[in-house]
Structure 1
Amino acid sequence: MAALVAADAPAPPGPPETAEAAELSRALSRLLPGLEADTKLGRRRALEALQRELEAARPGPPDTANAAAAFQGPWTRLLLPRLLRCLADPAEGCRALAVHLLGLGLRRAARPHDALPRLLPALVARLASTEPARRPPPEPCEELRLALVELLGLAVDLGGAALAPYLDDAVRVLRCTLLDPFAAVRRESCACAAALARATPDHFHMQAESLVGPLMQTIAHQHWKVRVAVIEATGTVIQFGNGKSVDDVLSHLAQRLFDDVPQVRQAVTSVVGAWLLALRDRYSFFHKLIPLLLSSLDDGLPEIRQLATSLWEKVGLQWQKENEEDLKDKLDFATPPPPHYPLQESRPGLGCRELIFRNLSKILPGLCRDLTDWVVGTRVKAAQLLAVLLLHAEDHTTQHLEPILRALQHACADEEPAVVSSCTRSAQLVGTFVSPEVFLKLILSPLKKSPSASSLLVLAAVLQGCPPEALQPHLKTVATELAQAHVCQASESKLYLEHLLLCVQALITVCREDCCTCSLQLMQVLVATLAASGAPDLDKKVQETVGSLATVEGCDGPQDVYRKHMGALMEWVTASHRDWTVHSPELAQFSTLLTRAGPAVGEALQHLIPTLSSCLQPTRDPQMRLRLFSLLSKVLLRAGETVDSQGQLHGYLKTLVTDILVPNLQWHAGRTAAAIRTAAVSCIWALVSSGTLSDKQILEVQGPLMPQLVTTLEEDSQTSRLVSCRIINLFLQTSGDTNEPDGLLKIYPELLKRLDDVSNEVRVAAASTLSTWLKCIRSDNSKLCYQSHIQYLYRELLVYLDDPEPAVQDAVLEVLKDGSVLFPEILVQETEAVLHKHRSPAHCERLLQHVQALAAKR
């Protein structure tokens, strides 16, 4: 009703009309009654006739001013009120024509602002609803709502400051149209809001706050063009507002920095940059606006990065000029970049750096919170921003180092690689700008209490960024701390070990030749890492690092590094050997040294043998003993390249045999004890078959070992029985006919039993050993002592000449052939006695032929 009353109100009296105005009035008066027609068609025709009249009467440029003055009277008095009433016409086409004619009239009128008292209430009546979020607007047609908003924008452009008294109505309309279901209406409303702010700068601040809510409700619209329009409008509304709404929009703008559409992110960057340059209260909001602009420095689109860089440089220069007096000393005596400034970075200007210096304490708390946010994108942006801030802060980082390091240690445990990468970069900047004396206190202290993979990664990155001359005095302190058991043995996690290795690599890379002073400690860390690692790729990295250490030390290769430190490393590892179990990390380190050090092992027998002697006693952890015997077997197989590389093993043979091997060959119940005996037998075979021992040394070990080996021929383990046969065979070959008769007579019955073994391999090995046993009886004097035993042996072996297994038959035939030289007559007699009992006499006949051939030769 208010709109209709305003539309019907009589126009204020004006000056007398000119002839042109009078003619136009008459023409319009003839057409206006048609607007009151009862039919839609009649009203539409009247409006179309008015359109033709107005468009036909449009003057050229020279007469524009006069024509506008002549048009003003009829427009205000006759046409405007009736067209405004047509905005409520039931026919959509009539309403559309009325909007079009209103636009024509505003453009042609000499004083378009005179229409505002009637136009604004009419627009409110058609576009504003009491609850825009729930109730539909009075105008149901989307295209008409768009045309009405465009009409409002035209009125704002033409009316300018004269719109101030009607600001309430305009804002009321925009509050509704900013939430319109039609995306185009929202976009046009955003443009209109910005134009309204610029048109009424002296009064808009009183209404700006009421537009912020609808704008923020629209900022996440599904159409990216709407989002861009909202961001740009928000920038202008806040710019001409009272500044109180900045806090209300910052979080929404920050979210738009994650938008998938680059135009949206670019709009945010432009708006924030403009605020930092021109917002009236910008000094109060620097600490809130700067993070938003600097976040765009790491945007994925180069254009946005360039825009952000350009705006940030302008902000810094402007602030520098505004505070020139305060910065006079720094401007007159410019400080050079810090030493070892990152080569790939260009140093920001003084104004930019000062802005960060003065606002860092306000920015950091929120940034640290964002580093722990549940949204991945937020954490990534926060991590990227932290690196930018530290690059600006330079040595001022020291003042905030504790919260920064705490945040970095937490963020470096993030599952998102992008977060870890940016935080690693930040840690390197800490190392570049902060004194090692300061950051080491804050890093090493927590590392002692609770070592973690993330804290090691931070330490590695900080060390990597530190200048060599600054780090050198603290080199040994860091290396010693890393070599402590509570650090290098804290975890077997691959990630933890990788980060521990990174610390060593950082020290070697930065300090180079200076690492000679702490080479032992670094080797301790590398050995501990190898021992705990089970990943081939990590092992390869460790070996490469040992090679790097050898290079900086001037050694020929990794083996030289091991040789240089072998004694100290063995002393370090074996210090706690009395308390070892199979799970002790020191046991793994001990194993690593023996398998990796190569010839250097032979230089540390004074540590190796006593440790083995202690750890391989029957009273110690059985699983540990199994592991050590397996390790010892591998080492003894390559004795010349490991334990006997210096030819010193013979000096420890007695201890190795009597204190280590013999006690573990004694029988004890249980599967574990049997496995240990098997492992011990394997060690003996590795020792005697490696070619390291001379015949004399083999004879030395044979005495205490032979009785135990004879008993192991009865073991349940096939491996034990087989290897025992081979060892006894080797012992017999070495000793020849020097064996005592009593000792030899104890051996053959046990070997004879093995011919009934379930394993054909063992049976063949036993036959081969019996052949060697028979060869040990050579002298005529000793033959008589063995006659009855050999006759018994002939008789038993002849049984196996008829064995179902051909390989056993052949092996036994060879034994009998070798033994036939001792008592051929007895062998012939025994063979003929059983010849008829065999299923196949072939082997017996071949044996008799062999004996006859020997006799013929004699």
Structure 2
Amino acid sequence: MAALVAAEAAAPPGPAEAAEAAELSRALSRLLPGLEADSKLGRRRALEALQHLLEARPEAPAADPAAAAAAFQGPWARLLLPRLLRCLADPAEGCRALAAHLLGLGLRRAARPRDALPRLLPALAARLAGPEPARRPPEACEELRLALVQLLGLAVSLGGAALAPYLDDAVRVLRCTLLDPFAAVRRESCECAARLARATPDHFHMQSESLISPLMQTISHQHWKVRVAVIEATGTVIQFGSGKSVDDVLPHFAQRLFDDVPQVRQAVTCVVGGWLLSLRDRYSFFHKLIPLLLSSFDDDVPEVARVAANLWEQVGLQWQKENEEDLKDKLDFASPAPAHHPSPENRPALGCRELVFRSLSKILPAVCHDITDWVAGTRVKAAQLLAVLLLHAEDHVTQHLELLLRTLLRACADEERAVVSSAARSAELIGAFVSPDVFLKLLLSVLRKSPSPSGLLVLASVLRGCPREALQPHVKGIATALAQPHISQGAENHLYGEHLLLCVQALIAVCREDCRGSSLQLMEVLVTVMASSGATGLGDKVQETMDALATVESVDSSQDLYREHAGPLLEWLAASHHDWTVHSAELLQLDVVVTHAGPALGELLPQLIPVLRSCLQPARDPAMRLQLFSILSRVLLRAKETVDSQGQLHSYLDTLVKDILVPNLQWHAGRTAAAIRTAAVSCLWALISSESLSAEQLREVQEALTPQILTTLEEDAQVTRLVSCRIIDAFMKASGAVVGPDELVKVYPELLKRLDDVSNDVRLAAASTLATWLRRVESDGSKSCCQSDIQHLYKELLVHLDDPEGAVQDAVLEVLKAGSVLFPDLLVRETEAVIHKHRSPAHCEQLLQHVQALPPAP
């Protein structure tokens, strides 16, 4: 009060101001007693009358606003302010609300609003600050708490530096209101805290730390606007307060970078950027603040990323200017961007690069640790940040290479695709900035000790980022390392095979014609991947890579690559064929080479046939023999285009028949042995139907294999019986083959048995073969020696002429027609003897008509 009187005495009002003040005092004197009324209604009416009085009076008379404010100051401070402050504790909520409103009007109109602070701040603290920040404040109405916080903010704005003596009360209020249940109160409190910090810069640092705890408790509020307000307020509080609080705030800020609302992430970005630009002791916090700002470079919202980039550029330029003397040489003799820089036109400024380089040893361990965090979002952010850091650090990353590669090996094995993608990007940057002499020594050593999909992905990415001229001397060593069996033969795993293929693709894409000297090793890798790609679906990608390799080799297609390398590839595989089993990777690789070599196989028979003969002996693994027979069948079906492309297959026919097929057609008990016999029969059929054998060669095959094929007619497997019938039919049709009567007589009884087969396909094939047999008897002139056999055959066929299956009846009829020229009279007698026994005589009648129409025998 003494200060107030002294202030008024220091500036005595003029006559007009005194008259206006006297008039206002008289008006207030009539209304103020109503504030002491016992009834709520009486107090409310008095407050409403005061509101009408204050709002009716002009706030700023056109003649002299300062004079009006000076006239208002005395009655306001002497009469109105103390009574309104008492009304803040009125039992009636409406009265308290009107009192808060009138206090705001008074502060705006008073000439010296700061004079109200000694009374106002304690009164606000009494209503808003509970005994503990987390306890409910005395003011129960949330709208009133909002009005009171707004009143505090107004007092801060109008009071300015004069608020310094009352910081304790203001901070005590804010510590409670920042945790208020009402979201609007929290937002208003954040704005008030920022105003308070700016208003009292010389004293606020003594109180700032006490606001950090409630701010951080509010930073995860469910309303995003509250979160934004907290972040912005925290930025100002620390800016004008104590830098010691930065460490307490940073973990919370880092967590807000994962916020679903882009405005929240942008607020963090702006605040951190502001600290980097203007925080008093910012240099000591660079290594903690830089990762937060750079983390926004890969934000999903382009606007946030753009803000971060702009702020970072300002930070770099400012630091560069502040340290111009230290950077003089680098500024005067600026080094060009590395030759293989991914985006030289967007290369970060020198200040930005230097800031990252000088802080990298402190930043990198934490980033590498976060890449292995159990929270997926943290791993994604850390992996994205690592790529940004490497882009700035450039060749300085060499000294941290071991740590980086260990981290990337783990990151590339992550289940999150975003982590893997960013890790691969970081590996590309290592390839661009680090010498291959350094990174290959480390990476290839890791792969030799423990091959893994992630290791291959890192290698592929590094190769993809490396400049061609730097990688050229290492192409042979890389290709040789990839072709090592313990590295290449892990490709049965889809991911491993895919990443191994990526290594080859990267090497071809970067080095192009420099790969010519290593094409054999690369072919070995591609063959290995293709051999394992049946279950993984990589076949098309391997073929594309083969075509790319053919292009750099200046040949027309991958077929030409096989022609060039099939011999060495087969030699590479054959080295271990004595130890092959069905599980051997070399068996699958042989399948690929043999299947894709095409005409080149015709030149490889001296190498291929001995391998097949060795691996197809009865003592070898049965499952492996089955697979080899399948491979052999496929190439024999296209013999002219594959194994016989040079017309030399006949030279190996004896080995193929006697050393491979005959041993495998021998009967042995068991299902596996039966399956092998089926495979051997199928292989023989492929050889015969390929039309690559001359009549003489076919006769040799027939002489060697007819006894075994007659045996296989009794096999349990339907396909074996069916193919055996077709093989015998082909033997019978072969031109130039001379078969004696004894051999012919041995064949037809076995075929007759097949007319009773459970399979109609086998029965029809047997009928067709019998027709061929009869024609052969006729053409060989052996009918006189076989009359009794033919008569027996007629009788058996006439029985089947009455078969329940119409297709079989038709087929048997054709057989009888074909054989009717041998002994027509005998056939007529046999037919007439059984025609009455048939369910339908139609087929017998057709047969008799056919015989009668035959020309008379000569």
TM-score by length of 2: 0.94
Secondary structure of the structure 1 residue equivalent to 2:439:
helix
Q: 1:158 to 1:597 in 2, by over 3 A?
A: same
Structure 2 residue identity aligned to 1:546: M
Q: 1:244 to 1:852 in 2, by over 3 A?
A: same
Is 2:150 aligned against 1:150?
Answer: yes
Q: 1:25 to 1:771 in 2, by over 3 A?
A: closer
Partners of 1:701 and 1:77 lie apart in 2 by 130
Partners of 2:163 and 2:434 lie apart in 1 by 58
Secondary structure of the structure 2 residue equivalent to 1:738:
coil
Q: 1:70 to 1:822 in 2, by over 3 A?
A: closer
Structure 2 residue identity aligned to 1:349: A
Is 2:103 aligned against 1:102?
Answer: yes
Q: In the alignment, is the contact (CA less than 8 A) between 1:180 and 1:186 conserved in 2?
A: yes
Structure 2 residue identity aligned to 1:140: A
**2:112 aligned partner:** 111
**1:447 aligned partner:** 447
Q: State the Cα distance separating 1:61 from its structure 2 match.
A: 5.3
Is 2:322 aligned against 1:312?
Answer: no
**2:722 aligned partner:** 722
What does the per-residue CA deviation read over 1:339-359, in whole Å, with 9 as the maximum and x for residues that have no partner? 021138600000000000011
When structure 1 is superposed on structure 2, of 198-207 and 845-854 the one drifting more is 845-854
Q: 1:854 to 1:132 in 2, by over 3 A?
A: same
Structure 2, gaps ≥5 residues long: none
**1:77 aligned partner:** 78
Q: In the alignment, is the contact (CA less than 8 A) between 1:14 and 1:73 conserved in 2?
A: no
Q: In the TM superposition, what are the counterparts of 1:262-411 in structure 2 within 5 Å?
A: 262-343=262-343, 346-411=346-411
Structure 2 residue identity aligned to 1:105: G
Q: 1:64 to 1:679 in 2, by over 3 A?
A: same
Partners of 1:104 and 1:831 lie apart in 2 by 131
**1:545 aligned partner:** 545
Is 2:43 aligned against 1:43?
Answer: yes
**1:4 aligned partner:** none
Q: In the alignment, is the contact (CA less than 8 A) between 1:737 and 1:777 conserved in 2?
A: no
Q: In the alignment, is the contact (CA less than 8 A) between 1:513 and 1:553 conserved in 2?
A: yes
Q: In the alignment, is the contact (CA less than 8 A) between 2:206 and 2:241 conserved in 1?
A: yes
Q: State the Cα distance separating 1:581 from its structure 2 match.
A: 1.8
Partners of 1:234 and 1:675 lie apart in 2 by 79
Structure 1 residue identity aligned to 2:273: G
What does the per-residue CA deviation read over 1:707-756, in whole Å, with 9 as the maximum and x for residues that have no partner? 11111122122222222122122112226672234333322332233233
Q: State the Cα distance separating 1:546 from its structure 2 match.
A: 0.9
Q: State the Cα distance separating 1:799 from its structure 2 match.
A: 4.0
What does the per-residue CA deviation read over 1:360-403, in whole Å, with 9 as the maximum and x for residues that have no partner? 11111221222222333222222221111111011011111122
Q: 1:624 to 1:345 in 2, by over 3 A?
A: farther
Q: In the alignment, is the contact (CA less than 8 A) between 2:699 and 2:737 conserved in 1?
A: no
When structure 1 is superposed on structure 2, of 840-849 and 412-421 the one drifting more is 840-849
**1:215 aligned partner:** 215
**1:172 aligned partner:** 172
Q: 1:668 to 1:29 in 2, by over 3 A?
A: same
Q: 1:603 to 1:42 in 2, by over 3 A?
A: same
Q: In the alignment, is the contact (CA less than 8 A) between 2:493 and 2:536 conserved in 1?
A: no
Q: In the alignment, is the contact (CA less than 8 A) between 2:128 and 2:177 conserved in 1?
A: yes
Q: State the Cα distance separating 1:111 from its structure 2 match.
A: 2.9
**2:748 aligned partner:** 748
Q: State the Cα distance separating 1:654 from its structure 2 match.
A: 0.9
**2:245 aligned partner:** 245
Q: In the alignment, is the contact (CA less than 8 A) between 1:219 and 1:227 conserved in 2?
A: yes
Partners of 1:638 and 1:121 lie apart in 2 by 102
Structure 1 residue identity aligned to 2:687: L
Partners of 2:721 and 2:60 lie apart in 1 by 122
Q: In the TM superposition, what are the counterparts of 1:185-196 in structure 2 within 5 Å?
A: 185-196=185-196
What does the per-residue CA deviation read over 1:392-426, in whole Å, with 9 as the maximum and x for residues that have no partner? 01101111112222222212222222222222211
**1:90 aligned partner:** 91
Structure 2 residue identity aligned to 1:616: L
Partners of 2:8 and 2:752 lie apart in 1 by 144
Q: In the alignment, is the contact (CA less than 8 A) between 2:599 and 2:641 conserved in 1?
A: yes
Secondary structure of the structure 1 residue equivalent to 2:668:
coil
Q: 1:736 to 1:651 in 2, by over 3 A?
A: closer
**What's the % identity of the aligned pairs?**
76
Q: In the alignment, is the contact (CA less than 8 A) between 2:61 and 2:68 conserved in 1?
A: no
Is 2:699 aligned against 1:699?
Answer: yes
Q: In the alignment, is the contact (CA less than 8 A) between 2:4 and 2:115 conserved in 1?
A: no
Partners of 2:232 and 2:412 lie apart in 1 by 37
Structure 2 residue identity aligned to 1:208: S
What does the per-residue CA deviation read over 1:595-636, in whole Å, with 9 as the maximum and x for residues that have no partner? 222222222222221121122111122122222222222221
The size of the alignment, in residue pairs, is 850
Q: State the Cα distance separating 1:831 from its structure 2 match.
A: 5.2
**2:61 aligned partner:** 60
Structure 2 residue identity aligned to 1:44: R
**2:412 aligned partner:** 412
Structure 1 residue identity aligned to 2:360: L
Q: In the alignment, is the contact (CA less than 8 A) between 2:491 and 2:500 conserved in 1?
A: no
Q: 1:693 to 1:32 in 2, by over 3 A?
A: same
What does the per-residue CA deviation read over 1:544-581, in whole Å, with 9 as the maximum and x for residues that have no partner? 11111111111111111111111111122232222222
Partners of 2:60 and 2:501 lie apart in 1 by 85
Q: State the Cα distance separating 1:805 from its structure 2 match.
A: 4.2
When structure 1 is superposed on structure 2, of 92-101 and 582-591 the one drifting more is 92-101
**2:126 aligned partner:** 125
**2:664 aligned partner:** 664
What does the per-residue CA deviation read over 1:775-811, in whole Å, with 9 as the maximum and x for residues that have no partner? 4445898655444444444444444444444444444
Q: In the alignment, is the contact (CA less than 8 A) between 1:764 and 1:811 conserved in 2?
A: yes
What does the per-residue CA deviation read over 1:456-506, in whole Å, with 9 as the maximum and x for residues that have no partner? 111111111110111111111111111121122114222222211111111
Secondary structure of the structure 2 residue equivalent to 1:756:
coil
Q: 1:735 to 1:187 in 2, by over 3 A?
A: same
Secondary structure of the structure 1 residue equivalent to 2:441:
helix
Is 2:236 aligned against 1:236?
Answer: yes
Q: In the TM superposition, what are the counterparts of 1:411-560 in structure 2 within 5 Å?
A: 411-534=411-534, 538-560=538-560
Q: In the alignment, is the contact (CA less than 8 A) between 2:228 and 2:264 conserved in 1?
A: yes
What does the per-residue CA deviation read over 1:157-210, in whole Å, with 9 as the maximum and x for residues that have no partner? 222222111111110000011111222211111111111111111111111000
Structure 1 residue identity aligned to 2:381: K
Q: 1:15 to 1:395 in 2, by over 3 A?
A: closer
TM-score by length of 1: 0.94
Is 2:639 aligned against 1:639?
Answer: yes
Partners of 1:90 and 1:845 lie apart in 2 by 125
Structure 1 residue identity aligned to 2:35: L
Structure 2 residue identity aligned to 1:441: K
Structure 1 residue identity aligned to 2:166: Y
**1:3 aligned partner:** none
Partners of 1:835 and 1:28 lie apart in 2 by 141
Q: State the Cα distance separating 1:835 from its structure 2 match.
A: 5.8
Partners of 2:810 and 2:96 lie apart in 1 by 118
Secondary structure of the structure 1 residue equivalent to 2:538:
helix
Partners of 1:537 and 1:682 lie apart in 2 by 28
Q: State the Cα distance separating 1:593 from its structure 2 match.
A: 1.8
When structure 1 is superposed on structure 2, of 406-415 and 517-526 the one drifting more is 406-415
Secondary structure of the structure 1 residue equivalent to 2:755:
helix
Q: In the alignment, is the contact (CA less than 8 A) between 1:397 and 1:434 conserved in 2?
A: yes
Q: In the alignment, is the contact (CA less than 8 A) between 2:763 and 2:808 conserved in 1?
A: yes
Partners of 2:816 and 2:66 lie apart in 1 by 139
Partners of 1:637 and 1:156 lie apart in 2 by 96
Q: 1:57 to 1:633 in 2, by over 3 A?
A: closer
Q: CA RMSD in A?
A: 2.5
When structure 1 is superposed on structure 2, of 268-277 and 585-594 the one drifting more is 585-594
Secondary structure of the structure 1 residue equivalent to 2:609:
helix
Q: In the alignment, is the contact (CA less than 8 A) between 1:736 and 1:775 conserved in 2?
A: no
Q: In the alignment, is the contact (CA less than 8 A) between 2:751 and 2:769 conserved in 1?
A: yes
Q: 1:556 to 1:762 in 2, by over 3 A?
A: same
